[in-house]
């Protein structure tokens, strides 16, 4: 080993990652090179200085409690999701499809038109409504809720997701999703009464989202339209 190698591998030596024979060779070089010895001393001090400078900060107040509550909510809602998966996987199909057809119906107010590539109801039942696999990549927040909220996970995992997409050249996308209402934390979200029903409004990915429950099924309606207009869409949905 020469000085160049010693400089290159000084961290490996200090981090204790050398194999025994390499370490011996390194130390053998140190024993006859004052410069490298001083360099090792410097690096050792530097490493220690980092460790001393950065100690783990105290846990912020309430973090552990929030995590505990979130985990509790998570394990309960996972239980709940089982019956969602089994009992309600198909139940919302009709409803959601109905909502979609309604949304697709041209109305004077919204001028939402049925696109030519609109799937028929059978196709939707077969393919569009699908359980989201339980993996992190399929972990879609339905509504933006600060994740430090005190209840629930702050996010909803869709057990059945359903995007009714109605596109027109100048028309924003309106999507209706079926969600498990218990999984959505509505803390901090603005709510208002629409047709005698409490509807929560939030943001997700820059789009306004309205959350409401209807016959025990949760719905998230989102569109990139102003909140007022979204409320109108929800109102007309609930009118039916």
Partner 1 sequence: MRSKGEAKSMARDKAHSRKEFEGLLYPILPSLYGMALRLTTDENDAQDLVQEATLRAFRWFHTFQPGTNFRAWTFRILVNLFITNYHRKNRRIQAETDLEAPEHYQRIVGNSTWRNARNTEDDVMDRLTDRDIIAALDQLHDEFRTAVVLSDIQGFSYREIAEIMDCPVGTVMSRLYRGRRTMQNLLYEHALERGIIPKKTSTLDDDKKKVTNLEEFRHKRR
CB of 123 to partner 1, least distance (A): 27
> Closer CB to partner 1, residue 154 or residue 218?
154
Using CB under 8 A, which of 28, 42, 90, 224 touches partner 1? 42
Q: Verify binding: residue 44, partner 1, rule CB under 8 A.
A: no
Candidate residues 20, 21, 31, 51; the one interacting with partner 1 per rule CB under 8 A: 51
Restricting to residues 151-190, name those near partner 1 by CB under 8 A: 153-154
Stretch that binds partner 1, among 55-63, 96-104, 113-121, 205-213 (CB under 8 A): 55-63
Distance separating alpha carbons of residues 193 and 235, to the nearest angstrom: 10
Residues 66-105 vs partner 1: string with x where CB under 8 A? Answer: xxx-xxx-xx--xx--xx--x-------------------
Of 119-158, which residues contact partner 1 (CB under 8 A)?
Answer: 134, 136, 139, 146-148, 153-154
Residue 61 in the binding site for partner 1 (CB under 8 A): no
Name residues contacting partner 1, limited to 215-234 (CB under 8 A): none
Token digits of residue 78 = 């996972």
Instruction: Find the shortest distance in angstroms from Cβ 174 to partner 1.
Output: 27
Of 160, 173, 182, 165, nearest to 205 by C-alpha is 173
**Based on the number of CB atoms within 10 Å of its own CB, is 220 exposed (0-12), middle (13-18) or buried (19 or more)?**
buried
Residues forming a β-bridge with 168: 171
- Cβ of 143: how many Cβ atoms within 10 Å? 23
How many residues line the site for partner 1 (CB under 8 A)? 49
Closer residue to partner 1, CB minimum distance, 36 or 209: 36
**Residue (69 or 165) nearer to partner 1, CB:** 69
Nearer to partner 1, 43 or 232 (CB): 43
Report how far residue 5's alpha carbon sits from residue 60's, in angstroms, rounded to the nearest whole number.
44
- The tokens describing 136, both together, are 């992190």
The structure tokens 């209807």 sit at 214
95 with 214: CB under 8 angstroms? yes
Per CB under 8 A, does 59 bind partner 1? Answer: yes
User: In the complex with partner 1, which residue's Cβ is closer, 75 or 107?
Assistant: 75
Q: Which positions touch partner 1 (CB under 8 A)?
A: 7-8, 11-12, 15, 17, 35, 38-39, 42-43, 45-47, 49-60, 63-64, 66-68, 70-72, 74-75, 78-79, 82-83, 86, 134, 136, 139, 146-148, 153-154
């Amino acid at each position: 080993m020469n000085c160049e190698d010693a400089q290159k591998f000084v961290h490996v030596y200090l981090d204790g990652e050398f194999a025994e024979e390499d370490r011996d060779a390194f130390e053998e070089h140190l024993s006859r090179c004052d410069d490298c010895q001083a360099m090792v001393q410097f690096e050792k001090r530097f490493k220690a200085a980092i460790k001393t400078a950065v100690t783990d900060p105290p846990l912020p107040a309430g973090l552990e409690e929030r995590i505990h509550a979130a985990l509790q909510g998570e394990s309960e809602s996972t239980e709940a999701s089982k019956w969602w998966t089994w009992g309600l996987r198909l139940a919302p199909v009709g409803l959601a499809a109905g909502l979609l057809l309604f949304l697709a119906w041209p109305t004077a107010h919204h001028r939402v038109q049925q696109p030519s590539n609109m799937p028929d109801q059978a196709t939707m039942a077969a393919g569009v409504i699908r359980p989201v696999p339980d993996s992190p990549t399929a972990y879609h927040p339905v509504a933006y809720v600060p994740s430090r909220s005190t209840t629930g996970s702050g996010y909803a995992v869709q057990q059945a997701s359903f995007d009714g997409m109605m596109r027109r050249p100048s028309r924003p996308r309106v999507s209706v999703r079926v969600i498990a209402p218990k999984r959505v934390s509505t803390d901090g979200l603005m709510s208002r009464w629409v047709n005698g029903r409490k509807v929560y409004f939030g943001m997700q990915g820059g789009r306004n989202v309205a959350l409401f429950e209807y016959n025990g099924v949760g719905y998230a309606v989102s569109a990139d339209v102003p909140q007022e207009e979204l409320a109108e869409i929800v109102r007309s949905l609930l009118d039916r």
